[in-house]
Amino acid sequence: MTGAATRLTRELIAVPSVTPDGGDGQAPLRERLRPLGFRLENMGEGDVANLYARFGDQGPVVAFAGHTDVVPTGDETAWSHAPFSPTASGTYLYGRGAADMKGSLAAFTVAVERFLDRHPEPNGSIALLITGDEEGPATHGTPVMVRRLAERGEMPDYCLVGEPSCNERLGDTVKNGRRGSLTGELVILGVQGHVAYPHKAENPVHRALPALQELVDTEWDAGNAYFPPTSFQIPNIRAGTGAHNVIPGTLDVQFNFRYSTERTRDDLKAQIQEILDRHGLRYDLHWHENGDPFLTEPGPLVNALTESIRTVTGLDTHLSTAGGTSDGRFIAPHGVQVAEFGPLNDTIHQVDERVAMADLERLAEIYEGVLERLLGKA
């Protein structure tokens, strides 16, 4: 027999909620939560639906954060099974969003149903923050809900984000923080001219090379017990007109920091500008602040999660801050304990995205165990 978490995951996958999700992808969740006594509120903005659901009025509040929007499928003919026709094959369930992250949404919903069946009056409240704008710009999604909840004084105490966190086995990794992300759009200014008359021009590529090399060679910090050292990478660089005999007038350089809690966005900005100025460059520089680092040290949430994982899987999980950003970056700054845990991430955003059906059922058990440890009555 197919388990409850797998069945609900199939329902969610069957809705083609390519980002942004205007609400259709959240309908199966609303249908399951309303009969349980959850108060449902649409905190949508623009063409994005944001579902806020809450059970109970007292603290502490344990929240689950996730998203129903999914990335585009790409060439659907490359899929072994139609991406929005959830298909069980062998031990896996295939479909877009199976791992990222409709499986987690289903598992948490099933966990809540089972928990409330045993604890109809829990020692606190349960909330869900479900957005339709995580895979896209993420401007009308979780930030909107967090802002409104903060204004109302309703921020949760604990928040479990269902991002796919595991690498090789369910339970091997919990993300208890994330690095910050800061992007710079740098334009080095020169003077365009003929390559045969370099004295009448100023080549920004030549001028910039020593500074760029210093940026690449700089050790920004050594990291700490939870974070690896801050990294600096240049993903895009562009200059020239395409002609072999024209010195370019500008050099465009895009760079990105993934930074630890040893640094702040402001001191990174200041250090970049000091290096550029010291090399005598003329430049324009614009910043994109993608998110600050956050860290939840072992405490009630992390302990409840790691203990539940050990009970269900027998594994001693690894705490990690690796990987890209997540919506946890919007929640943690409000003093909320945030941890991320979900299924394996080996096929996310890929053709033939899949999740092990047995993992979905165990994931529901783990989530239920977290609720039991934080809100269960003795």
How distant, in Å, are the alpha carbons of 100, 137, 220, 234, 324 from that of 231? 26, 23, 7, 10, 12
State the catalytic residue, choosing from 24, 41, 47, 69. Answer: 69
Q: Would the annotation count 194 as a binding residue?
A: no
Taking the alpha carbons of 116, 59, 161, 76 in that order, is the dihedral positive or negative?
A: positive
Q: Would the annotation count 168 as a binding residue?
A: no
Nearest to 367 by CA among 346, 347, 348, 339: 339
**How would you list the strands of the sheet with 231-239, edge to edge?**
231-239, 250-259, 180-189, 283-291
Helix (H) or strand (E) holding 126: strand 125-131
Told to judge if 267 belongs to the known catalytic residues of this protein, a careful annotator would answer no
The beta-carbon contacts of 27-36 under 8 Å, at least 24 apart in sequence, are 29/53, 29/68, 29/105, 29/109, 29/128, 29/130, 32/8, 32/109, 32/113, 33/109, 33/112, 33/128, 36/112, 36/113, 36/116
Q: Would the annotation count 100 as a binding residue?
A: yes
Taking the alpha carbons of 164, 167, 170, 173 in that order, is the dihedral positive or negative?
A: negative
The residue with tokens 């969003």 is: 97
Q: Would the annotation count 288 as a binding residue?
A: no
How distant, in Å, are the alpha carbons of 44, 59, 213 from that of 205? 46, 58, 12
Q: Would the annotation count 316 as a binding residue?
A: no
DSSP assignment of 293-318 equals -EE--SSHHHHHHHHHHHHHH---PE
Nearest to 15 by CA among 6, 24, 7: 24
Token pair for 240: 């020239």
Question: How far apart are the C-alpha atoms of 159 and 207, rounded to whole Å?
Answer: 48
State the catalytic residue, choosing from 134, 340, 353, 372. Answer: 134
Helix (H) or strand (E) holding 363: helix 357-375
For residues 111 and 368, is the Cβ–Cβ distance under 8 A?
yes
The residue with tokens 């003077």 is: 191
Told to judge if 340 belongs to the known catalytic residues of this protein, a careful annotator would answer no
The residues that are catalytic are 69, 134
Binding positions: 67, 100, 135, 163, 349
Binding positions for Zn(2+): 67, 100, 135, 163, 349
